[in-house]
A and B are shown apart, each in its own frame.
Chain A
């Protein structure tokens, strides 16, 4: 018994000593980038079983905070880091390095029953500011509009706010949700709902065209689709060459990585 306890203690001490260094990569942040981060982790660990990559999806804002607090190695973000966050990182002695991994369009989605097929950016803004309250105003049935938004911690929210809302505040009836998947499910189950999600989350809901342009990888690449944005991974300092971290973040530039990004429904960088 005593021997076993001593053994466990020795293992724990050895573990504590080894814990600081790197056969682990902790990824935290955007729920939009989640599918890419998870697929990259799967791909990388297949080839390097000694490395443990953990992924959590808590929102871009939390990802940034995590990186600033040195609590993660990679912050996945669906928006660029804000100046205030960069400043906070600097104060904490951390230099966030930006890696663009893919492009994404923010698709505006409605329930399949909804006949509305196209919305202009102005109409979408009016929906979220509460000016448009019934679908009949947009040529649909006489049903109330249930506007679903991401929470303010989300990068998708911030991009939507910049690209669509034009500095106007969202109205109070707007519902805030914690993830892309949750918006998708809410829109699937509610006839009058409208929401916005990353391109990988449009299965089972109806994607409307925005200003007459469909959200597809092609229109996102050509920048025709108005609500498009890059997806990022941030690391603390430039990762050492050939380290697992460098390989993981660098996957996006490889052929394999690009195929993975496309298979998950996003747009690979050229």
Chain B
């Protein structure tokens, strides 16, 4: 092969390598960018006066006099709309029954959407659900509310073969010729005055409890739950995993039994996580009764079982990678076997072991299947440390699934769902970053 050809081949290879890296980076960007942008919208958004009213009434947060002045201003802007509605009610009550019947359904619908946008009608009894006690707290949802007030969706089925065609009809047409016709332009033009949007950074999203099935508040119980589960898993899996790895590499004599044991361990590492979840339910909860119901403890045990094979395997590899000379040196100085492992082998293997542990922890934090039946619930309070022994908790991974499928108003809590995703991804990335830094630091200390 001529030198020229070799050079060309060489360049082609490095070119392909670069291309692969660029491809990976682009894929990561495409994947992560929307996640970050949408996730941040849970924290940074155009907040309305309803958001500030909620914070003031629930947490005493914000400048009371200022917010109250704003509430009054917003109420003043809304007053004409409610007045028009009330006037129309009075007019209907005084008028003929046939007219009343004609407007009953459209009026009920309009009222529903106006309350969705602005909150309960003044002078009416307080609605029982928190979500009905406030108007829309976010401007994007308020725009949706305005759209629903102004227009009514109708489906035209005149051509059954083609399927229905969506038509959006202005509600103003339904009320043409009545005093209510003026309501629609008024609401449309005065939306900003009624909602008073302002750029809001709601840091409480990460530190507040959730209210009314995630319609309000933050995701603190989920974050704390995930944290407890990850730490619990660590506390249970690491000592066991480390001891097993030390035994397998330093103490056990190579035998057929050991080979079988290794194969079992490797197989266990490949078992799907839902199997561990069901095992956890059947064994820890229904048979061993480690807790009266699902609990963080039972969940941690299940997760620990799931990551144990990986921890053992990673620790084993790290211990094996320590040069023989270290052991020989220690033994020649008169150290016993245990002392050799403790003072010469383990410190050298530590970076590898730690990496394995932290990556497993990231996996434990992100897994859903093992905790469905053993630890996770859709709604619950943040737990105190001692409550983790007996009580279940919401957790990031499970609640993402719950909000995406089971929640009764998926479309209205989408921002919370994205916020949960961003938090989980951020948490796992942070864990991995910590692993890299820790590893670098220990490696540096060992070299000196």
Interface residues of A (CB under 8 A from B): 8, 11-12, 14-16, 18-20, 24, 26, 28, 31, 34-35, 38-39, 41-43, 45, 52-58, 66, 69-73, 112-115, 117, 136, 139-143, 178-182, 184-185, 191, 200-201, 203-204, 206, 256, 259-260, 263-265
The residues of B that contact A69 with a CB separation of less than 8 Å are 285-286
B402 and A54 form a contact (CB under 8 A)? no
Minimum distance in angstroms from B375 CB to a CB of chain A? 10
B390 and A34 form a contact (CB under 8 A)? no
A54 interface neighbour in B155, B162, B386, B391, Cβ under 8 Å: B391
Interface residues of B (CB under 8 A from A): 127-130, 132, 153, 155, 157, 160-164, 166, 211-213, 285-286, 291-294, 372-373, 376-381, 383, 385-394, 402, 405-411
A204 interface neighbour in B162, B294, B411, Cβ under 8 Å: B411
> Which B residue sits closest to A265, measured CB to CB?
B408
A52 and B387 form a contact (CB under 8 A)? yes
The residues of A that contact B373 with a CB separation of less than 8 Å are 58
The residues of A that contact B212 with a CB separation of less than 8 Å are 38-39, 42
B130 interface neighbour in A35, A42, A115, A181, Cβ under 8 Å: A42
> Which B residue sits closest to A261, measured CB to CB?
B128
A58 and B387 form a contact (CB under 8 A)? no
A179 to B406: give the CA distance in the assembly, Å.
6
B163 interface neighbour in A41, A113, A178, A185, Cβ under 8 Å: A113
B411 and A38 form a contact (CB under 8 A)? no
B213 and A14 form a contact (CB under 8 A)? no
Q: A52-B391, A55-B379, A142-B161 are in contact. Are A19 and B408 (CB under 8 A)?
A: no
A57 to B372: give the CA distance in the assembly, Å.
10
Given A20-B390, A141-B162, output 6 extra A-B contacts at Cβ < 8 Å.
A15-B387, A19-B391, A20-B292, A52-B380, A52-B387, A113-B164
Minimum distance in angstroms from B73 CB to a CB of chain A? 29
Minimum distance in angstroms from B132 CB to a CB of chain A? 6
B160 and A139 form a contact (CB under 8 A)? yes
> Which B residue sits closest to A35, measured CB to CB?
B408
Q: A38-B378, A178-B405, A263-B129 are in contact. Are A113 and B155 (CB under 8 A)?
A: yes
> Which A residue sits closest to B157, measured CB to CB?
A115
B163 and A15 form a contact (CB under 8 A)? no
A15 to B160: give the CA distance in the assembly, Å.
65
> Which B residue sits closest to A66, measured CB to CB?
B293
The residues of B that contact A117 with a CB separation of less than 8 Å are 157
B129 and A18 form a contact (CB under 8 A)? no
A112 interface neighbour in B155, B388, B411, Cβ under 8 Å: B155
A26 and B406 form a contact (CB under 8 A)? no
Q: Which of A31, A42, A58, A264 has the most CB of B within 10 A?
A: A42
> Which A residue sits closest to B161, measured CB to CB?
A141
A114 and B386 form a contact (CB under 8 A)? no
A26 and B160 form a contact (CB under 8 A)? no
A56 interface neighbour in B153, B211, B392, B410, Cβ under 8 Å: B392
A26 and B405 form a contact (CB under 8 A)? no
Minimum distance in angstroms from A208 CB to a CB of chain B? 12
What would be 6 A-B contacts, judged by CB atoms less than 8 Å apart? A14-B386, A26-B391, A38-B212, A260-B128, A264-B129, A265-B408
The residues of A that contact B406 with a CB separation of less than 8 Å are 31, 34, 57, 178-182
The residues of A that contact B132 with a CB separation of less than 8 Å are 263
Q: A35-B213, A191-B163 are in contact. Are A57 and B128 (CB under 8 A)?
A: no
